[in-house]
Chains A and B, each alone.
Chain A
Amino acid sequence: MSAEALCLAGDAGLLALAVAGALFAAKPLGRPLVYGGALVLSALMLAVAAGALAFGGGAETLVLPLGLPWIGARFHIDALSAFFLVVVNLSAAAASLYALGYGRTEHDPERVLPFYPAFLAGMNLVLVAADAYTFLLSWEFMSLASWALVMARHSEDQNARAGYVYLVMASFGTFALLIAFALVAGLDGRFAFEAMRAAPPAAGVAMLAFAAALIGAGSKAGLVPLHVWLPLAHPAAPSHVSALMSGAMTKVAVYAFIRIAFDLAGPPDWRLSIPVLIVGAASGLIGVLQALMDNDLKRVLAYSTIENIGLIFVALGLAYAFHATDFDAAAALAMTAALLHIFNHALFKSLLFFGAGAVLTATGERRLNRLGGLLNRMPSTGLFMLVGAAAISALPPLNGFVSEWMILQAVLLSPAFSEWTLKILAPAVGAGVALTAALAAACFVRAFGIPFLGRPRSEAAERAKEADRLSLAAMAGLAALCAIVGIFPGQAIDALSPAVDLLIGAHVPNQSSMPWLTIAPVAASRGSYNGLLVAAFIVASASMASTVIHRFASGALRRAPAWDCGFPDPAPTTQYTGESFSQPVRRVFGQLAFVVEERIDMPRPGETRAAHLNLRLTDRIWNLLYVPLILVVERTAVQLNRLQFLTIRQYMSVVFGALVVLLVVLASWP
Chain B
Amino acid sequence: MSVLPDATVVLLALPLAAAALLAVLPSYRLSAALNVAAAFAAFLASASLFVVAPPPNAYILIDDLNVVFIVLNTFVGFTASVFSATYIAHEIETGRLTAKHLRFYHAMYQFLLFSMNLALIANNIGLMWVAIELATLTTVLMVGIYQTQAAIEAAWKYFILGSVGIALALFGTILIYMAAQPVVGEGVQGMLWTSLIQHAPGFDPTLLDLAFVFLLLGYGTKVGLAPLHAWLPDAHAEGPTPISAVLSGLLLNVALYAVLRFKLLLDANARALAPGPLMATLGLVSVVFAAFMLYRRRDVKRMFAYSSIEHMGVIVFAFGIGGPLANFAALLHMAMHSLTKSAIFYTVGQIAQVKGTQQIAEIRGLTVTHPLLGWSLVFGVFAIVGLPPMGVFMSEFLIVTSTFSRAPWLALPLAFGLLLALGALVLRMQAMAFGAPAGSTAPAKSSALPILAHFALVLIAGVYLPPPLVTWFQHVAVMLR
Contact = CB atoms under 8 A, between A and B. Distances in A.
* A adjacent to B, CB under 8 Å: yes
A669 B209 contact: yes
Contact of A655 (B213, B228, B293): B228
Nearest to B294: A637
Nearest to B156: A648
B397 A133 contact: yes
B286 to A, nearest CB: 12
B292 A640 contact: yes
Consensus secondary structure, chain B interface: helix
Contacts of B420: 633
A662 B382 CA distance: 36
A185 interface: yes
A434 to B, nearest CB: 39
Contact of A141 (B385, B389, B427, B436): B389
Contacts of A652: 160-161, 164
Contacts of A175: 400, 415, 418-419
Interface stretch (B122-130, B339-347, B401-409): B401-409
Q: How large is the interface on A (under 10, 10 to 19, 20 to 34, 35 or more residues)?
A: 35 or more
Contact of A648 (B161, B389, B402, B415): B161
Nearest to B295: A637
B296 to A, nearest CB: 4
A183 B403 CA distance: 11
A638 interface: yes
Contacts of B164: 652, 655
A637 B306 CA distance: 13
Interface in A101-139: 132-133, 136-138
B24 interface: no
Interface in B147-200: 156-157, 160-161, 164-165, 168
Interface string B10-31: 0000000000000000000000
Contacts of A179: 400, 404, 411, 415
Interface stretch (A159-167, A233-241, A402-410): A159-167
B430 A163 contact: yes
A160 B273 CA distance: 50
A114 to B, nearest CB: 10
A187 interface: yes
A181 B415 CA distance: 14
B221 interface: yes
A352 to B, nearest CB: 29
Given A66-B463, A640-B289, A666-B210, A648 B157 contact: yes
29 contacts: A67-B394, A67-B463, A133-B394, A137-B389, A137-B393, A137-B463, A141-B389, A144-B382, A144-B387, A151-B434, A163-B434, A167-B426, A171-B387, A171-B419, A182-B401, A185-B401, A189-B401, A633-B292, A637-B292, A637-B295, A637-B296, A641-B293, A644-B233, A651-B157, A654-B230, A655-B227, A659-B217, A666-B210, A669-B273
6 closest A-B pairs by CB: A154-B434, A182-B404, A651-B230, A637-B295, A182-B401, A69-B470
Given A137-B393, A644-B293, 16 more contacts: A69-B467, A133-B394, A144-B387, A151-B434, A154-B434, A160-B434, A171-B387, A175-B418, A175-B419, A185-B405, A633-B292, A641-B293, A641-B296, A648-B156, A655-B217, A663-B210
Interface of B: 156-157, 160-161, 164-165, 168, 209-210, 213-214, 216-217, 221, 227-228, 230-231, 233, 273, 278, 289, 292-293, 295-296, 325, 367, 382, 385, 387-389, 393-394, 397-398, 400-402, 404-405, 411, 415, 418-420, 422-423, 426-427, 430, 434-436, 462-465, 467, 470
Interface of A: 65-70, 132-133, 136-138, 140-141, 144, 151, 154-155, 157, 160, 163-164, 167-168, 171-172, 175, 178-179, 181-183, 185-189, 191, 633-634, 636-638, 640-641, 643-644, 646, 648, 651-652, 654-655, 658-659, 662-663, 666, 669
